[in-house]
Amino acid sequence: MKILVTGAAGLIGSHLCDILLNEGHDVTGIDDFSHGNRSNLMTAAKNPNFKFKVTKVQFISLWKEQYDVIFHLASLKKPVNQSINSSVVLDDNYEMIKSVVNEAKKYGSKLIFTSTSDIYGNSEKFDEAESITIGPPTNERYSYALSKLYGEQHIFNELQQSTLKASVVRIFGCSSHRASKTWSGGHVPLFINNALLNKDIIIHGDGLQTRAISHAIDIATGLKQVMDNFDKCNNEIINLGTDQQTTVKEVAEYIVKKTNSKSNIIFKPRTEIFGDYKEILIRFANTRKANRLFNFKITRSTFDVIDEMIDKFKL
């Protein structure tokens, strides 16, 4: 099949490209390197069935190319303590979803959109059918989750009002050696990088908030399974991730010990970092639906992922 992957140079996108190419598909990847890294595409670039364009998703209509499947992973996110304008996050993510939906409708492509577990907020069940509550607009950090929720609503409106065929996949935390070593890549790569450099590891709050970190390859494999089982997944919201919970503190202590680091673990008040943002205190992936639809499985534990990343980061 002919497949388009937006955000191809990112963590999940690059692994997805590798998996699709290994199965013999013709893959076009696009990325503007807002968050992605060209080195993540070293394997894909060696494959004659891979094409890559450095461009914004908003420009895909100019190519006039038809794809059987569009995986829309590209997204703008405002990392902690960085100067990206949150209104740009809203606007860019809004413009991108409109562009890919229009392309999918025009050519009859199957659309698979990656949303985020951030949408759930402080949920207890993380059930795809539950109601969603977004925090107050006075805190700009909600912009990312809100932009993803808009994308979901836009897709489901079109599913009812047009010929669009699409699935929405809510991604929970994942990582690999291809992750950014800054806050945009999550706490695991940042902590590993700091530990290897013997730099302080900063934790927001008491560190007892839990996260669910799987391997990005497992998530990319799950996305391919959505494509392979699209008749079952069309018009559905599906969670992908692990149900293994680890605290941020536990992960930091494990990394410091595993790397024999001299890093200090420093705790800072949440309000100093997030203001009135209600940080998500418990997170795990409820994947019962994915298990039922296509037997989705996680193959690596969180600590397997960390160990592999430490070895790769040392190289």
- Residue-wise pLDDT tens digits, 99-156: 999 999 999 999 999 999 999 998 999 999 999 988 888 888 889 999 999 999 999 9
Hunting for tokens 């997030």 — which residue is that?
274
The one-letter code for the residue type at 110 is K
* CA–CA distance, 152 with 155 (Å, rounded to integer): 5
- Under the banding of pLDDT at 50, 70 and 90, the label for residue 274 is low
Strand locations in the chain (E)? 2-6, 26-31, 50-54, 69-72, 110-116, 165-171, 174-175, 201-204, 210-211, 214-215, 237-240, 246-247, 265-268
Q: How many CB atoms lie within 10 A of CB 144?
A: 21
- Phi, psi at 289, each rounded to 5°: -65, -45
- Under the banding of pLDDT at 50, 70 and 90, the label for residue 80 is low
**Tokens standing for 65?**
């190319």
Q: Given this model, what pLDDT does residue 107 score? A: 96
* CA–CA distance, 263 with 267 (Å, rounded to integer): 13
Specify the range with the lowest mean pLDDT, choosing from 44-48, 58-62, 242-246.
58-62
| pLDDT tens per residue, range 145-200 | 999 999 999 999 999 999 999 999 999 999 999 999 988 889 999 999 999 999 99
> 2-179+213-243+284-301 has which CATH code?
3.40.50.720
Separation of first and last alpha carbons in the chain: 36
| pLDDT tens per residue, range 4-19 | 999 999 999 999 999 9
**pTM for the complete prediction?**
0.96
- Under the banding of pLDDT at 50, 70 and 90, the label for residue 240 is very high
Flag whether pLDDT at 279 surpasses 80: no
**Tokens standing for 5?**
């992957």
Q: Given this model, what pLDDT does residue 82 score? A: 57
Q: Where are the domains positioned within the chain?
A: 2-179+213-243+284-301
The arithmetic mean of pLDDT across residues 260-277, rounded, is 84
Hunting for tokens 């199965």 — which residue is that?
23
